[in-house]
Amino acid sequence: MIELRNISKSFAGRQILDDVSVLFEKGKTNLVIGGSGSGKTVLMKCMVGLLEPDHGHIFYDRRDFSGMDLDERKPIRKEIGMVFQGGALFDSMTVEENVMFPLSMFTSMSIAEKRERVTFCLQRVSLNNVNNLSTSELSGGMKKRVAIARAIALNPRYLFCDEPNSGLDPQTAIVIDNLIREITEEFNITTVINTHDMNSVMELGYKVLFLYKGKKWWEGDAEGIFRTDNKDLNEFVFASKLLRGMKK
């Protein structure tokens, strides 16, 4: 469980996040949705400590992350897996080296143990016999899988995915969404996903936070989105005529 309490963040006097409070549940896929520039990535960066919020608190299973210094944060950081917007694999490394990276950073496992763990994680995302490929030889969907394998290498309690299926065709996007949901449930992870893909919202929207101009504008589940009177959420969701036809 991750709890955000009153998170605010400004850059050069421009308020990007404004008093955001929300609770993300364990073993579930929690979504943050909102238009481009609404603050999704900034919020995620605040959650993992890549940015410091100006105000507010972030609790990881009741541990106050925001009140900790870098050393105190280390144990929590080890429990965090992240899939960055755009994949962010290391291009100069092989698939195996990419997935092994967090194991080398954070554990004292032997090389044999690390190899075994890497192969387990790659198999979990249905990638076999690709250990020695260079990441430049992979398709977009395979890169996302490698990024997920790397994110789960340390058995995370918390998984953050920033636009995990951007740039993928709709079918591959669904495969990646399903994979994230399965892993979340199987390993009882608190997963937070940034997306503006409505398909993902329907597939994964156990808990949905709608950000609008940096504010929590609506909170609910995928079902609730179709019943809400929130004008801005409706405009965001039903921007395409096709979806508008689905609303009763």
Ligand X SMILES: Nc1ncnc2c1ncn2[C@@H]1O[C@H](COP(=O)(O)OP(=O)(O)OP(=O)(O)O)[C@@H](O)[C@H]1O
Interface positions with ligand X (CB under 6 A): 11, 16, 34, 36-42, 196
Q: Which does 29 bind (CB under 5 to 8 A by kind): ligand X, Mg ion, none?
A: none
> Residue 27 or residue 56: which is nearer to ligand X going by CB?
56
Q: What does the block give as tokens for 248?
A: 């009763």
Contact 140, 147 (CB under 8 A): no
> At closest approach, how far in Å is the CB of 40 from ligand X?
4
Tell me whether residue 193 or residue 237 sits nearer to Mg ion (CB atom). Answer: 193
4, 161 Cβ separation under 8 angstroms: no
Q: Minimum CB separation from ligand X for residue 10, in Å?
A: 9
> Please, which residue, 65 or 210, has the CB nearer to ligand X?
210
**Dihedral through CA 50, CA 77, CA 40, CA 26, nearest 10?**
-170
Distance of CA 161 to the CA centre of its chain: 2
> Do 91 and 143 form a contact (C-beta atoms < 8 A)?
no
Among Mg ion, ligand X, none, partner that 190 touches (CB below 5 to 8 angstroms by kind): none
Residue numbers at the binding site for Mg ion (CB under 5 A): 40-41
DSSP class of residue 27?
Answer: T
Least separation in angstroms between residue 37's CB and ligand X is 4
> CB of 137: closest distance to Mg ion in angstroms?
27
Place of tokens 């495969």: 175
Binding at 9: pick from ligand X, Mg ion, none (beta carbon under 5-8 Å per type): none
Q: How far is the CB of 99 from ligand X (least distance, A)?
A: 25
Residue count of the chain, please give it: 248
DSSP single-letter state for residue 239: T
Enumerate the β-bridge partners of residue 3: 23, 59
The residue (of 48 and 127) whose beta carbon lies closer to ligand X is 48
Nearer to ligand X, 135 or 195 (CB): 195
